[in-house]
Amino acid sequence: MNHDAYPDNYIRGILNSVKSIAMVGASPQNVRPSYFAFKYLAQRGYDMIPVNPGHVGKDLLGKPFVASLSDIGRPIDMIDIFRNSSHIMPVVEEALTLDPLPKVIWMQLGARDDAAAMKAESVGIKVVMNRCPKIEYGRLSSEISWMGVNSRTLSSKRAPAPTQGMRLSLNRMSVGGGDTAASDRAAKNKAEQS
């Protein structure tokens, strides 16, 4: 997979197929991006599991925190890692010990570890880096258009009026895919510099 620019169908396929998502680094603080994403994905019908050893015994929007991936005790489709790039590898290594393996490992906006990605991909796990699943879901459904964001999708179909707790169709026509050409280029330059 070219991690500088993802085709929309790749992201769409992931968000359309996964049901359970373990979020590593989920924060109970309601101004943290992980809290935003956790809440949004739960509202859109995903089975969300907060993973954070610092908060075991508490819950996040009604879901009990677990200390680590191995404590979940049931198969999970996707691991969404809300940690800095430098903390990705150990999480991926732990994920690779799970049985069954997760289908997807997703690294949050700003997080990228190409070596960890290669490791996961070598055993057939799909990897997404430096993206936010909330933003991608909002973009492919065009819900994010309320914020003036370029969803880079088009549709001449009448969508149902979105309500809370409803899954939205992600199957609009894509415009080019990936991010915009200019922002992809900038992200790539940044990755190469660091």
Partner 1 sequence: MSDRLPGFSTLAVHAGAQPDPTTGARATPIYQTTSFVFNDADHAASLFGLQAFGNIYTRIGNPTNAVLEERVAALEGGTAALAVASGHAAQVVVLQQLLQPGDEFIAARKLYGGSINQFTHAFKSFGWNVVWADPDDIASFERAVTPRTKAIFIESIANPAGSITDIEAISTVARKAGVPLIVDNTLASPYLIRPIDHGADIVVHSLTKFLGGHGNSLGGIIVDAGTFDWSTGGKYPMLSEPRPEYHGIRLQETFGNFAFAIACRVLGLRDLGPALSPFNAFMILTGIETLPLRMQKHCDNAKAVAEFLAGHPAVASVSYAGLASDKYNQLARKYAPKGAGAVFTFSLKGGYDAGVNLVSKLQLFSHLANVGDTRSLVIHPASTTHSQLDDAAKVKSGAGPDVVRLSIGIEDKEDLIADLEQALSA
Backbone phi, psi, residue 153, to 5°: -135, 155
- Beta sheet of 47-51, edge-to-edge order: 47-51, 20-24, 78-81, 104-107, 126-128
Residue 191 binding partner 1, by CB under 8 A: no
CA distances from residue 148 to 122, 143, 144, 179 in whole angstroms, order as listed: 38, 10, 7, 15
Site for partner 1 in 9-68 (CB under 8 A): 9, 12, 30-31, 33, 35-36, 39-40, 43
Site for partner 1 in 103-122 (CB under 8 A): 109-110
Which range touches partner 1 (CB under 8 A), out of 47-55, 70-78, 87-95, 153-161? 153-161
Whole-number minimum distance, CB 186 to partner 1, in Å? 4
Which range touches partner 1 (CB under 8 A), out of 18-26, 90-98, 121-129, 137-145? 137-145
4: left (phi over 0), alpha (psi -120 to 50) or beta: alpha
List the structure tokens of 156. Answer: 């001449």
C-beta closer to partner 1: residue 118 or 154: 154
Residue among 17, 45, 118, 154 that touches partner 1 (CB under 8 A):
154
Which range touches partner 1 (CB under 8 A), out of 19-27, 66-74, 95-103, 161-169? 161-169
Q: Are 53 and 67 in contact (CB under 8 A)?
A: yes
Which range touches partner 1 (CB under 8 A), out of 47-55, 99-107, 111-119, 174-182? 174-182
Select from 4, 2, 5 the least CA-distant residue to 174: 5
C-beta closer to partner 1: residue 3 or 119: 3
Residues 6+ apart with CB under 8 A from 100: 75
Neighbouring CB atoms inside 10 A of 29's CB total 7
Whole-number minimum distance, CB 183 to partner 1, in Å? 3
What residues make contact with partner 1 under the rule CB under 8 A? 7-9, 12, 30-31, 33, 35-36, 39-40, 43, 109-110, 132, 135, 138, 142-152, 154-164, 171-183, 185-187, 190
